[in-house]
Structure formats: structure tokens, C-alpha cells
Amino acid sequence: MAEQPVRLAIATLAPLAEAAAGRGEGWLVDSERARVAAMTLPLRRAQYLAGHWFARELAAEVLREAPERLAFTIDAAGRPRIAIDGQLLGYLSLSHSGECLACAYAADPIGIDLEFPKSRRDLDGVARFTFSPPEREWLSGLAGDEREAAFYRLWTLKEARGKRSGEGLLPGRARRWTALATAAEAAEAATWTVGEGVLAVATDGVSALAPEGRGLVAARPQFWSFRDGD
């Protein structure tokens, strides 16, 4: 199969949840049905179904297949993949925050994270636990809204990088890596401002990406590279 383009989109939860609910559960694979059956919170269930339907819709547009034909699976590295008839195809990444969902589909590993500020989040505590010393020093020199915006850029970058590798956000490893602003041609990741929130994407060729708003508008990106502290 020819190499597929990267697709990155943001949408609001309600219409996707309605679309997913209207199709029953016949499009889910067994592992997804088991997850849904174990969920006791209606909102979490709606987010899960909406996200997995959104992922199939996005991948189906690229692959020119019916969404119902696409299976959601996890590869050996822990990364979500799309498969058809057992054949592994592209990589998926999903993130939800508040009333919004973000999804990406790509031929190569990709990680995304979408976060809107949470009023009771302990920014200092999270930073001590997951940010590198240079990142914490940078944050300490900022104040107010500027500091909060910088925190969420760094936090989403950590999440996106961990999703791309499949290892997730492991605090010990996260503290080793420092996100550095860089030129587009050297970028390993990018962040966009989405309303009051931040969207981060880590993948090859990130400088060429543009989120499809689906009702939301993202500002121009800032580009980043990662430096290993060891």
C-alpha cells in the first residue's frame, strides 16, 4: 500500500458521541467491547466511543475504506494501529480534554495530546514530578497566564512524545528530556494554541502539519526538538 498522508483533526465531543451511539457496537472489536462494558461513567463511555469512531472516520478517509471495516489494535510497542483483515496499517493517536477530541492518523508513529487548563491542577507539583531541571528553571522565570501557557505546552509535549514511542508518560524518563524551541526544519514536535488550550503533536515531518479544525481554530504552531539530559 502506498505511503499515506498524515491527518490531524480536532472536533467537539457531542456530535461524534451521537454518531458513534447511532451505530451500536458492531463496529468495535472484542477488546474495545470489553473496555466499554467495564466503564461505569456515562461520560467516559461516550468519550471512548466517540474517540474510536473519530479515529476510524479519519483513517477511512485516508484509506478510502468504510469505517466499519477498520479494526483498532495495539502493536508490540503499545501504540494504537489500524488494521484491515489482520494487516497492520497506519498509526493512530487520540486525546480528549473537556468537550473536545483530537485525533491523528499517520503512516509513521505519531503522538498527540490536547489539554485545556484545569483550575485545581498543581502546576508546581506536576512540574517537579515530570519536567527536566531546565524546563522547571524556565517556568520559574514566568508568572501568571504566561507561566500557565508554558506549563501546558511542556506537559502536552511530554504526553505526545510518550504516545509516539508507545512508552507513555513515565516520570523518570520524562525528566530526562528537555523540550527546546527550534526551527521548523529541525522540529520533532509542534504545539498549537486551541482556544485556551494546547495541542501537541510529535511525529516525523511535523512542520508540514495543519490541524483540521472541525469547528475549532488553532493558531500558528511553535516547533520543538527534544534534548536527552543523560
pLDDT (tens, 9 = 90+) of the chain, 230 residues, equals 445 578 999 999 999 999 998 888 899 999 999 999 999 999 899 999 999 999 999 999 999 999 999 999 999 899 999 999 988 899 999 999 988 999 999 999 999 999 998 877 788 888 998 999 999 999 999 998 899 999 999 999 999 999 998 888 877 788 889 999 999 999 999 999 988 899 999 998 898 888 887 556 667 899 999 998 75
- Computed from CA positions of residues 25, 30, 36, 37, in that sequence, does the dihedral angle turn out positive or negative? positive
Nearest Cα neighbor of 104 from 24, 218, 6 is 6
pLDDT of residue 168: 83
pLDDT of residue 1: 43
pLDDT of residue 217: 63
Nearest Cα neighbor of 87 from 103, 63, 111 is 63
pLDDT of residue 158: 95
Tell me the C-alpha distance between 82 and 54, whole Å.
12
Tell me the C-alpha distance between 193 and 200, whole Å.
9
Please give the grid coordinates belonging to residue 51. Answer: 474517540
Residue located via cell numbers 458521541: 17
8 A C-beta contact, residue 83 and residue 89: yes
Query: What one-character DSSP code corresponds to residue 45?
Result: H
Residue located via cell numbers 534534548: 227
Beta bridge partners of 201: 112, 190
CATH topology of domain 113-228: Ribosomal Protein L22; Chain A (3.90.470)
Q: 10 Å Cβ neighbour count for 89?
A: 20
Domain borders along the chain are 7-110, 113-228
Nearest Cα neighbor of 51 from 62, 63, 43 is 43
Angle at 50 between CA 202 and CA 217, to 5 degrees: 55
pLDDT of residue 218: 67
Are both 7-110 and 113-228 of the same fold? yes
Among 3.40.470.10, 3.40.50.450, 3.90.470.20, 3.40.50.720, name the CATH number for the domain at 7-110.
3.90.470.20
End-to-end CA distance of the chain: 39
